Protein backbone atom coordinates (compact mmCIF):
# COMPACT_ATOMS: atom_id res chain seq x y z
CA UNK A 1 0.00 0.00 0.00
CA UNK A 2 1.46 3.27 -1.04
CA UNK A 3 1.51 6.04 1.44
CA UNK A 4 -0.65 8.91 0.66
CA UNK A 5 2.27 11.23 0.20
CA UNK A 6 5.96 10.76 0.66
CA UNK A 7 8.55 13.45 0.20
CA UNK A 8 12.08 13.04 -1.04
CA UNK A 9 14.46 15.89 -1.80
CA UNK A 10 17.18 16.18 -4.41
CA UNK A 11 19.43 18.90 -5.73
CA UNK A 12 19.25 19.57 -9.44
CA UNK A 13 21.25 22.31 -11.12
CA UNK A 14 21.43 24.35 -7.95
CA UNK A 15 17.70 23.93 -7.13
CA UNK A 16 16.15 22.04 -4.30
CA UNK A 17 13.36 19.86 -5.71
CA UNK A 18 10.83 17.57 -3.98
CA UNK A 19 9.50 14.23 -5.28
CA UNK A 20 6.01 13.65 -4.02
CA UNK A 21 4.11 10.35 -4.44
CA UNK A 22 0.40 10.88 -4.36
CA UNK A 23 -2.03 8.11 -5.24
CA UNK A 24 0.41 6.24 -7.47
CA UNK A 25 1.37 9.45 -9.26
CA UNK A 26 4.79 10.95 -8.96
CA UNK A 27 5.01 14.71 -9.17
CA UNK A 28 7.99 17.05 -8.87
CA UNK A 29 7.63 20.22 -6.88
CA UNK A 30 10.43 22.77 -7.31
CA UNK A 31 11.56 24.61 -4.23
CA UNK A 32 10.64 28.25 -4.03
CA UNK A 33 13.75 30.39 -4.36
CA UNK A 34 15.80 32.61 -6.62
CA UNK A 35 17.40 31.45 -9.81
CA UNK A 36 20.92 30.10 -9.79
CA UNK A 37 23.63 32.73 -9.66
CA UNK A 38 26.48 32.83 -12.10
CA UNK A 39 29.74 31.45 -10.80
CA UNK A 40 31.78 34.44 -12.11
CA UNK A 41 31.63 37.85 -10.49
CA UNK A 42 29.39 40.37 -12.23
CA UNK A 43 30.82 43.31 -14.09
CA UNK A 44 31.33 46.24 -11.70
CA UNK A 45 29.50 49.33 -12.78
CA UNK A 46 30.47 52.88 -11.91
CA UNK A 47 29.01 53.81 -8.60
CA UNK A 48 26.88 56.85 -8.76
CA UNK A 49 28.02 59.60 -6.43
CA UNK A 50 25.58 60.83 -3.90
CA UNK A 51 24.18 64.38 -4.22
CA UNK A 52 26.17 65.38 -1.15
CA UNK A 53 29.48 64.21 -2.67
CA UNK A 54 28.72 65.97 -5.96
CA UNK A 55 27.92 69.20 -4.10
CA UNK A 56 31.16 69.05 -2.08
CA UNK A 57 33.20 68.40 -5.24
CA UNK A 58 31.63 71.37 -7.00
CA UNK A 59 32.45 73.61 -4.03
CA UNK A 60 36.07 72.46 -4.07
CA UNK A 61 36.38 73.26 -7.76
CA UNK A 62 34.83 76.70 -7.23
CA UNK A 63 37.22 77.51 -4.36
CA UNK A 64 40.26 76.33 -6.29
CA UNK A 65 41.01 73.44 -3.93
CA UNK A 66 41.35 70.96 -6.77
CA UNK A 67 44.31 71.21 -9.15
CA UNK A 68 43.41 72.67 -12.55
CA UNK A 69 43.41 70.46 -15.57
CA UNK A 70 46.59 71.15 -17.56
CA UNK A 71 45.96 72.48 -21.03
CA UNK A 72 48.21 70.82 -23.57
CA UNK A 73 50.25 73.08 -25.76
CA UNK A 74 51.10 72.17 -29.30
CA UNK A 75 53.70 74.88 -29.97
CA UNK A 76 57.04 73.61 -31.24
CA UNK A 77 59.94 73.66 -28.83
CA UNK A 78 61.87 76.09 -31.05
CA UNK A 79 59.04 78.63 -30.85
CA UNK A 80 58.88 78.40 -27.06
CA UNK A 81 62.66 78.83 -26.75
CA UNK A 82 62.61 81.87 -29.03
CA UNK A 83 59.84 83.48 -26.99
CA UNK A 84 61.73 82.83 -23.75
CA UNK A 85 64.95 84.38 -25.09
CA UNK A 86 63.23 87.40 -26.68
CA UNK A 87 63.32 90.54 -24.46
CA UNK A 88 60.00 92.04 -23.33
CA UNK A 89 58.44 94.55 -25.66
CA UNK A 90 58.37 97.17 -22.91
CA UNK A 91 62.18 97.04 -22.61
CA UNK A 92 62.56 97.62 -26.35
CA UNK A 93 60.19 100.58 -26.22
CA UNK A 94 61.99 102.07 -23.21
CA UNK A 95 65.39 101.66 -24.87
CA UNK A 96 64.11 103.28 -28.06
CA UNK A 97 62.62 106.17 -26.08
CA UNK A 98 65.91 106.77 -24.24
CA UNK A 99 67.87 106.71 -27.49
CA UNK A 100 65.45 109.16 -29.06
CA UNK A 101 65.67 111.41 -26.00
CA UNK A 102 69.48 111.44 -26.14
CA UNK A 103 69.33 112.30 -29.82
CA UNK A 104 67.01 115.23 -29.16
CA UNK A 105 69.21 116.53 -26.32
CA UNK A 106 72.28 116.36 -28.54
CA UNK A 107 70.77 118.36 -31.41
CA UNK A 108 68.47 120.82 -29.59
CA UNK A 109 70.03 123.62 -27.58
CA UNK A 110 66.75 124.40 -25.83
CA UNK A 111 66.65 120.88 -24.35
CA UNK A 112 69.94 121.18 -22.44
CA UNK A 113 69.55 120.45 -18.75
CA UNK A 114 66.13 118.83 -19.14
CA UNK A 115 63.96 118.85 -17.09
CA UNK A 116 65.23 121.41 -14.53
CA UNK A 117 67.19 123.86 -16.72
CA UNK A 118 65.65 123.50 -20.17
CA UNK A 119 63.49 126.14 -21.85
CA UNK A 120 59.75 125.97 -22.40
CA UNK A 121 58.47 123.01 -24.44
CA UNK A 122 58.29 123.57 -28.17
CA UNK A 123 54.70 123.77 -29.37
CA UNK A 124 55.61 122.41 -32.81
CA UNK A 125 56.62 119.07 -31.25
CA UNK A 126 53.00 118.44 -30.27
CA UNK A 127 52.01 118.85 -33.93
CA UNK A 128 54.39 116.34 -35.44
CA UNK A 129 57.80 118.03 -35.39
CA UNK A 130 59.70 121.29 -35.29
CA UNK A 131 60.84 122.77 -38.64
CA UNK A 132 63.86 124.45 -36.99
CA UNK A 133 65.36 121.20 -35.74
CA UNK A 134 68.57 121.72 -33.78
CA UNK A 135 68.35 125.51 -34.11
CA UNK A 136 65.18 125.64 -31.98
CA UNK A 137 65.62 127.49 -28.68
CA UNK A 138 62.85 125.56 -26.95
CA UNK A 139 62.81 122.10 -25.42
CA UNK A 140 61.87 119.14 -27.61
CA UNK A 141 61.54 116.62 -24.78
CA UNK A 142 58.26 115.64 -23.04
CA UNK A 143 57.23 117.84 -20.13
CA UNK A 144 54.89 117.32 -17.24
CA UNK A 145 52.29 120.11 -17.15
CA UNK A 146 53.37 122.33 -14.24
CA UNK A 147 52.42 125.98 -14.13
CA UNK A 148 50.59 128.47 -11.95
CA UNK A 149 46.96 129.24 -12.61
CA UNK A 150 45.52 132.74 -12.49
CA UNK A 151 44.52 132.45 -8.82
CA UNK A 152 48.03 131.42 -7.78
CA UNK A 153 49.60 134.20 -9.83
CA UNK A 154 47.31 136.64 -8.10
CA UNK A 155 48.53 135.32 -4.74
CA UNK A 156 52.14 135.63 -5.87
CA UNK A 157 51.62 139.22 -7.01
CA UNK A 158 50.33 140.08 -3.54
CA UNK A 159 53.68 139.15 -1.95
CA UNK A 160 56.71 141.37 -1.58
CA UNK A 161 60.12 140.45 -3.01
CA UNK A 162 61.43 139.14 0.31
CA UNK A 163 58.41 136.87 0.76
CA UNK A 164 58.78 135.48 -2.76
CA UNK A 165 62.45 134.70 -2.23
CA UNK A 166 61.68 133.06 1.11
CA UNK A 167 59.12 130.81 -0.59
CA UNK A 168 61.23 129.90 -3.62
CA UNK A 169 64.68 129.30 -2.10
CA UNK A 170 63.84 126.04 -0.23
CA UNK A 171 62.54 124.45 -3.43
CA UNK A 172 65.59 125.62 -5.38
CA UNK A 173 67.86 124.00 -2.80
CA UNK A 174 65.88 120.75 -2.99
CA UNK A 175 66.54 120.47 -6.75
CA UNK A 176 70.28 119.82 -6.14
CA UNK A 177 71.29 121.32 -9.48
CA UNK A 178 75.01 120.93 -10.16
CA UNK A 179 76.93 124.21 -9.91
CA UNK A 180 73.98 126.24 -8.59
CA UNK A 181 75.50 127.00 -5.18
CA UNK A 182 76.90 130.36 -6.28
CA UNK A 183 73.58 131.54 -7.72
CA UNK A 184 71.64 130.42 -4.65
CA UNK A 185 74.13 132.11 -2.34
CA UNK A 186 73.63 135.40 -4.18
CA UNK A 187 69.86 135.06 -3.84
CA UNK A 188 70.15 134.38 -0.11
CA UNK A 189 72.37 137.45 0.32
CA UNK A 190 69.82 139.55 -1.50
CA UNK A 191 67.05 138.15 0.72
CA UNK A 192 68.98 139.06 3.87
CA UNK A 193 69.33 142.67 2.65
CA UNK A 194 65.63 143.13 1.89
CA UNK A 195 63.28 144.51 4.55
CA UNK A 196 60.78 142.04 5.96
CA UNK A 197 57.13 143.06 6.14
CA UNK A 198 54.11 141.24 7.44
CA UNK A 199 52.42 138.96 4.91
CA UNK A 200 48.90 140.09 4.07
CA UNK A 201 48.01 136.89 2.15
CA UNK A 202 45.93 134.27 4.04
CA UNK A 203 47.89 131.15 5.10
CA UNK A 204 45.50 128.89 3.16
CA UNK A 205 46.44 130.54 -0.13
CA UNK A 206 50.14 130.36 0.76
CA UNK A 207 49.72 126.62 1.34
CA UNK A 208 48.14 126.20 -2.11
CA UNK A 209 50.97 128.20 -3.65
CA UNK A 210 53.55 125.98 -1.96
CA UNK A 211 52.02 122.86 -3.48
CA UNK A 212 52.27 124.43 -6.94
CA UNK A 213 55.85 125.65 -6.45
CA UNK A 214 56.96 122.12 -5.57
CA UNK A 215 56.14 120.97 -9.13
CA UNK A 216 57.96 123.75 -10.99
CA UNK A 217 61.40 123.34 -12.52
CA UNK A 218 64.56 125.11 -11.41
CA UNK A 219 64.39 127.60 -14.28
CA UNK A 220 60.72 128.40 -13.59
CA UNK A 221 61.46 129.06 -9.91
CA UNK A 222 64.36 131.36 -10.80
CA UNK A 223 62.16 133.39 -13.14
CA UNK A 224 59.36 133.62 -10.55
CA UNK A 225 61.79 134.95 -7.96
CA UNK A 226 62.58 137.94 -10.16
CA UNK A 227 66.24 136.96 -10.47
CA UNK A 228 67.71 138.03 -13.81
CA UNK A 229 70.61 135.68 -14.40
CA UNK A 230 70.53 134.45 -18.03
CA UNK A 231 74.31 133.98 -18.16
CA UNK A 232 74.27 131.93 -14.95
CA UNK A 233 71.44 129.74 -16.22
CA UNK A 234 73.31 129.15 -19.47
CA UNK A 235 76.38 128.14 -17.47
CA UNK A 236 74.31 125.66 -15.47
CA UNK A 237 72.91 124.21 -18.70
CA UNK A 238 76.43 123.64 -19.95
CA UNK A 239 77.34 121.85 -16.72
CA UNK A 240 74.27 119.63 -17.00
CA UNK A 241 75.22 118.73 -20.59
CA UNK A 242 78.80 117.93 -19.54
CA UNK A 243 80.36 120.92 -21.27
CA UNK A 244 81.32 122.90 -18.16
Task: Please give the chain's pLDDT, 244 residues, in tens.
Answer: 444 554 445 554 445 556 565 666 656 565 555 555 556 655 555 455 566 676 667 766 766 655 555 555 555 555 455 555 555 555 555 555 555 554 544 457 888 888 999 999 998 888 888 888 888 999 998 888 788 888 898 888 888 889 999 999 999 999 999 999 999 999 999 999 988 776 677 888 889 899 999 999 999 999 999 888 888 888 998 888 776 5
Give the Cβ contact number of residue 170 at 10 Å.
Answer: 11
Q: Is the CB of residue 182 less than 8 Å from the CB of residue 172? A: no
Q: Is the CB of residue 203 less than 8 Å from the CB of residue 163? A: no
- Nearest alpha-carbon partner for 243 in 105, 139, 134: 105
* Alpha-carbon distances, residue 230 vs 128, 218, 226, 234 (angstroms): 30, 13, 12, 6
pLDDT for res 177: 93
pLDDT for res 128: 83
- Nearest alpha-carbon partner for 155 in 105, 212, 90: 212
From CA 39, how far away is CA 181, in angstroms rounded?
106
Three-class secondary structure of residue 176 per DSSP: coil
* Alpha-carbon distances, residue 9 vs 25, 28, 30, 228 (angstroms): 16, 10, 10, 134
CA angle 205, 152, 116 (to 5 degrees): 115
Cis peptide before 25 (omega within 30 of 0): no
**pTM of the predicted protein model:** 0.54
Rounded-to-5 percentages of helix, strand, coil across the chain = 50, 10, 45
Amino acid sequence: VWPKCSHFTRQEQGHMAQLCYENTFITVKDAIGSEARARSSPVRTLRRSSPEAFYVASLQRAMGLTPPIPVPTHEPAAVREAEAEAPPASEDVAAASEAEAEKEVAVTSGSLGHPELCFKPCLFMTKGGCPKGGECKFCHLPHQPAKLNSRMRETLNGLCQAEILALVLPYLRAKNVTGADRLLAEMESRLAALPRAGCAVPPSRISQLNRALRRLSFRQLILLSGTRAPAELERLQGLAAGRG
